[in-house]
Amino acid sequence: MGASNGKPPEGFHALAQKILHYSTSVVSRIDFLREITRMLLEFSECDAVELRVKKENECFRCEAMSPLELPPAVEISRRTFRDKNAWLASSHEWTCFEKICRAVAERRYTTPTPFFTRHGSFRTGDMEHAMPRLAALGLAGAKDSFRPGGDYRSLTVIPLTAGKETIGVLALKSKAVNRFDENETAAYENLAQTVGLALASQLAQVTLHERVKELTCLYSLAQLTERPHVTLEEIFQGIVELLPPAWQYPEITAARIILDGSTYSTPDFQKAVHVQSSDIVVDGVRRGAIEVMYGEERIELDEGPFLKEERSLIDTLARQITLLIQRRQADEDRAHLQEQLRHADRLATIGQLAAGVAHELNEPLASILGFAQLTEKCPDLPDQAARDIRRIVTTALHAREIVKKLMLFARQTPPRTMPVNLNEIVADALGLLESRCIENDIAVMQHLSRNLPEITADPSQLHQVLINLVVNAIQAMPDGGTLTIRTQAKRDWVVLAVQDTGVGMTQDVLRQLFIPFFTTKDIHEGTGLGLPVVHGIVTSHGGKIHIESAPGEGARFEIRFPVIDRLQDKDHHADHLVI
């Protein structure tokens, strides 16, 4: 036998223990492979040690060469392997070395086949001389070099197993001839069992660790969202901070969430070398993304340098964010609806009250007006009395106007509906108010849609709506400005927008707009009934009002009426029932 360096069995024991011990530490798969390969090279004192290990559809190839200056190189190939042992090949061409590895992994030969031990390991002390016989076994072809796998003469290839499965091979290479004897090969075969076990347990360890990180992250997220009075912004910032510890290299990991144009990020999100991201999609619309990035190069894994566990975690988090947004939206909608109901309730009560009062006042007012007008006609009235009576008449007329508006607001006058083109109403109303606009130095812009569908409505009530909105706009621009009126068809709605460049409104005013008698104007200028009337008319037409305004920024009133009218539908139903 050749020059064995005759390691004592204690040496093998100590190494086995060291490897097992190391497998319980949490490091990445790659660092683990590197370290094991390094240990084996150091211990065996040969020229190179190579480990080929598979994990599902990946093959890790780690080779350490003497003298070891840099960490051993690791290569990962990932593909769907055509046959069971295809992972052992680093390309589609099988080299002689790889054919040997494959024969070992498959336990194709055992003693008495030359070169193979009874455990299926391969061993030769002189590759060069072995070539013809390897060719006879189909393990070397004409194209293969004398020293496959590098400039080595001695080669030992041992299977690595976990349970019954072969998970890899261990190759010891030496430039010396007859480097390993039978005993030493047997000792390495023993050691290989430990290496196989360590690899399997380390994999389980890493998987478990990833799972624990994932659960910790999700648990912290749950805690975060359950905190009382926490805002969505605080939650997003919290999530971003939970991310780095859940990724493989926390020290170079930064994270951010971009959502509806806002960004939440860890302080160090700058130069990203690798990014893993997941879209945040709410109700089919992409609203943003959650991103994790590495600031430095890291070795390729499942998805770039990221693990598939990390992919699943980032996707889960994106889905959680979607759920959070949806839940918040539902809460807000509910609150908004409640507020609307309260508002409608209040308006209805006030409306009933107003209608009653208006009714009661109508009679006496008619008498006052009638008698005043009669008295006015008396001949020989003293001047003073004539002037006073004129005042009574004007005031009574004003009062009657208010009563009329009150009744309109309370919807005492039922709408008389017919097909109406909103553009015509706009033209009518503007015709009436044109001179007031010119007087007040207001430019009028009209953008009227040419093919506006007709709506079913009461034209005189729509007229009221326009007059009220335009008068308000004029009053809001005492120093002139621009009044823009726009009509537009939007799906099943016809939209009317009245916009001014006037004084605008505070939130406080906006909140009270539809409350009868709410006005910020002088007693002669406003009654505070304009918008409540608008509101009454619009809702009785099945429409909606939307207002945008801020102090100093003008106001925009958008009103939409349904094209398919509900009033008409109701009538149809009534007819149908009568028949």
Least gap, CB of 357 to ligand ADP (angstroms): 18
Binding segment (CB under 5 A) for Mg ion, from list 44-52, 275-283, 319-327, 529-537: 529-537
- Side-by-side strand order, sheet with 122-124: 73-78, 58-65, 48-55, 165-174, 154-162, 122-124
Q: Which stretch binds ligand ADP (CB under 6 A): 160-168, 390-398, 402-410, 520-528?
A: 520-528
Instruction: Enumerate residues 469-488 that contact Mg ion by CB under 5 A.
Output: 472
Instruction: Among 211, 521, 570, 573, indicate the residue that binds ligand ADP (CB under 6 A).
Output: 521
| Minimum CB distance to ligand ADP smaller for 319 or for 546 | 546
* Backbone conformation region of residue 107, classed left if phi is above 0, alpha if psi is from -120 to 50, else beta: left
Hey, which residues between 144 and 173 contact ligand ADP (CB under 6 A)?
Answer: none
Instruction: Give the residue nearest to Mg ion (CB).
Output: 530
Inter-residue contact 99 to 138 (CB < 8 Å): yes
530, 532, 542, 543: which one binds Mg ion (CB under 5 A): 530
Least separation, in Å, of the C-beta of 530 and Mg ion?
3
Output phi, psi for 488, to 5 deg: -160, 145
> Residue 464's binding partner, choosing from ligand ADP, Mg ion, none, with beta-carbon cut-off 5 to 8 A by kind?
none
Contacts (Cβ under 8 Å, ≥6 apart) of 207: 309
Which residue has tokens 């690595």?
160
Considering CB distances under 5 to 8 angstroms, the limit depending on partner class, which of ligand ADP, Mg ion, none binds residue 527?
ligand ADP
What is the pattern of x (binds ligand ADP, CB under 6 A) and - over residues 442-471? --------------------------x---
473 is a site residue for ligand ADP (CB under 6 A): yes
Closest CB to ligand ADP among residues 201, 520: 520
CB of 222 to ligand ADP, least distance (A): 46
Rounded CA-CA distance 276/273 in Å is 10
Choice between 120 and 530, CB closer to ligand ADP: 530
Beta bridge partner(s), residue 483: 444, 500
Residue 239 has a CB neighbour count (10 Å cut-off) of 22
Work out how close the CB of 398 gets to ligand ADP at its nearest, in angstroms, rounded to a whole number.
13
User: Is the separation of the CB atoms in 280 and 326 below 8 Å?
Assistant: no
Question: Minimum distance from CB of 409 to ligand ADP (Å)?
Answer: 10
Count of residues for the chain?
579
- Does 328 bind ligand ADP (CB under 6 A)? Our answer is no
Name the segment binding Mg ion (CB under 5 A); options: 335-343, 356-364, 376-384, 523-531: 523-531
Query: Which of Mg ion, ligand ADP, none does residue 473 bind (CB under 5 to 8 Å by kind)?
Result: ligand ADP
- Count CA atoms closer than 13 A to 9's CA, side-chain side: 3
Residue 516 in the binding site for Mg ion (CB under 5 A): no
| Contact (Cβ atoms closer than 8 angstroms) between residue 216 and residue 246 | yes
Residue of 541, 542, 514 whose CA lies nearest to 529: 514
Give the integer Cα–Cα distance in Å for 577 and 101. Answer: 88
What lies within 8 Å, CB to CB, of 100 at 6+ separation is 122, 134, 139, 148, 155, 157
Taking CB under 6 A as the criterion, the residue among 485, 527, 537, 561 binding ligand ADP is 527
- Residue 520 contact, options ligand ADP, Mg ion, none, Cβ 5-8 Å cut-off depending on partner type: ligand ADP
Distance CA 169, CA 195 (A): 10
Quickly list H helices, 295-307.
Answer: none
* Residue 60 structure tokens: 């890790």
List Cα–Cα distances, 172 to 8, 120, 154, 266, 379, in angstroms: 18, 15, 8, 46, 133
Q: From residue 479 to residue 518, what is the string marking binding to ligand ADP with x (rule CB under 6 A)?
A: ---------------------x-xxxx---x---x----x
Nearest to 537 by CA among 366, 450, 453, 420: 420
Closest distance of CB 455 from ligand ADP, Å = 23
Q: H-helix or E-strand containing 483?
A: strand 481-490
Note the residues at the interface with Mg ion (CB under 5 A). 472, 530
Note the residues at the interface with ligand ADP (CB under 6 A). 468, 472-473, 476, 500, 502-505, 509, 513, 518-521, 526-528, 530-531, 555
